[in-house]
Amino acid sequence: MNRATAMLQTVALSLLLIGGAQATKATSANKAAVVASASTASHSKSTKAPKQAKAAQKVNINTADAAAIDEALLNIGPSKAAAIVAYRKQHGAFHSADELASVKGIGLKTIEKNRDRIVYSGGVAAASTSKR
């Protein structure tokens, strides 16, 4: 048992016992449940690895779909990734990472955090918006 778990158990048990009149109703089963709950909470981990922990995964912002952009870039979720794809379809290929700042909701700090992950070679032309 690590120090944090022991501390959580002590705090949980103390809170249970400090309850005044209700503390007399606390059974050893209740105390054990609180201790087990505190222990489980301190050991639970997310199944999805945070993007920061991954090796820098590169993504071509001119060819990748929204899911790939969301997966590879820090501080870019599904809606911002979709906005990048929509902007690319409307305006054409990105010629630098800094052009991502033109997409609503993406700032220079986000671009700097992701500069080593962004590839922008190739790409597609902007979708035609003129009617014939």
pLDDT tens-digit profile of 26-36? Answer: 455 555 554 45
Does CATH place domain 52-119 in 1.10.3720.10? no
Q: Which residues have C-beta within 8 Å of that of residue 78, sequence separation ≥ 6? A: 66, 67, 70
Task: Give Cα separations from 70 to 58, 81, 103, 128 (angstroms).
Answer: 12, 5, 14, 26
Res. 87: pLDDT tops 70: yes
Is the pTM above the cut of 0.85? Answer: no
